[in-house]
Amino acid sequence: MSLSSGNQLRRDPLLGYQVVIAEGREDRPQQWKPSIPPPSAMRCPFCGGHEDATPHERLALPADSSRSTDQMPWEVRVLPNIYPSLSPDFSDEVPTHQDPFYQVETASGVQEVIVESPRHVTSFSQLPEANAILTFQAYQQRLNTMRADGRCRYVQLFKNNGPAAGASLEHSHSQLMATRIVPPIVQHELDASEAYFRKHDRSYWSDLIERELADGSRIVHADENLVAFCPFASRMPFELCILPRSGQADFGGANSTLLEQLALLVRSLLVRMEKALNFPAYNYLIHTLPFDTFAKDHYHWHVEVLPRVTVRAGFEWGTGLYVNPLSPERAAQILRNSV
């Protein structure tokens, strides 16, 4: 794809949000390169040996003796979140506030913390490969447990790493939130994917992979099973999307080989990103099919990696636009070279 020089207004081809690619702004004094402080393991509740500081786990995955030389009783623990945003009350009582203008209902759901290692590491990139794999296995197991439970419609798996990304503890961990609603952005993806499929008789996600591979300028990694690239309308510098090349809608159904490859790819990409950006705060998240939705022909589960290196300011809040000071083509080139 031939792109003109200068600032550009790009539109996401699925969701329609618009991004100003303003590369001249990267010449301003840089605030992209935070340095990470040395880790402090002083009475961290997530460290091995401090299990008394947390609730009893809902899942504990032991070490694989063939991979681990530093054997501990557990390698990944899943705990209830003791400061939940969602209420564990799933009662079917009608809300008392019945105003058609101001609608209120109970924010019910399940909230869990996935502790990724008993050792005090501060990023997914620092995990041994075995722990990265176990973490993604825990994601899938807990998602499928929530499906079998039947009270929720959707599970959001995500990671906040660093204070700027919303983390309150530095020990590397991620989270699960299961809700009784399908979140608006996921519903938007589903609706737009279905509309594209009805119009073109093809999956948007398959076409996206095909076009990105053909162009190549935004590709960071591609193998027989997974593709990672900086999206055409990246909302922030170094944003990444990871997609399975096979048309899989449900992350809960990914086979063990693909799950292992995905875990190691996410780890590898974060190593590259942290090398390029000197350990930025970041989020990653997994979008997957809601439990009560049958959209297997036109939807793909996917992982989004979002480095928190810029801030939405007044223009962005006022207009709904995003401003990205680095083109995804340049970001992908930097990440490809950060090995």
Pick out the residues of the known binding site for Zn(2+): 44, 47, 120, 171
Are the beta carbons of 117 and 74 closer than 8 angstroms? no
Q: Which long-range contacts (CB under 8 A, 24 or more apart) does 253-257 make?
A: 254/140, 254/301, 256/137, 257/225
Overall size of the chain counted in residues: 339
φ, ψ (nearest 5 deg) of residue 327: -65, 150
DSSP class of residue 112?
E
Q: What is the largest CA-CA distance in the chain?
A: 60
Residue positions forming the annotated binding site = 44, 47, 120, 171
Q: 163: which residues sit within 8 A by CB, 6+ positions away?
A: 281
d(C-alpha 234, C-alpha 136), whole Å:
25
Q: Which positions are catalytic?
A: 173
* Nearest of 313, 301, 311, 306 to residue 331 by alpha carbon: 306
Q: Which long-range contacts (CB under 8 A, 24 or more apart) does 216-225 make?
A: 217/1, 217/329, 217/332, 217/333, 218/328, 218/329, 218/332, 219/332, 219/336, 220/269, 220/272, 220/332, 220/335, 220/336, 221/265, 221/268, 221/269, 223/261, 225/257, 225/258, 225/261
* Nearest of 80, 35, 267 to residue 172 by alpha carbon: 267
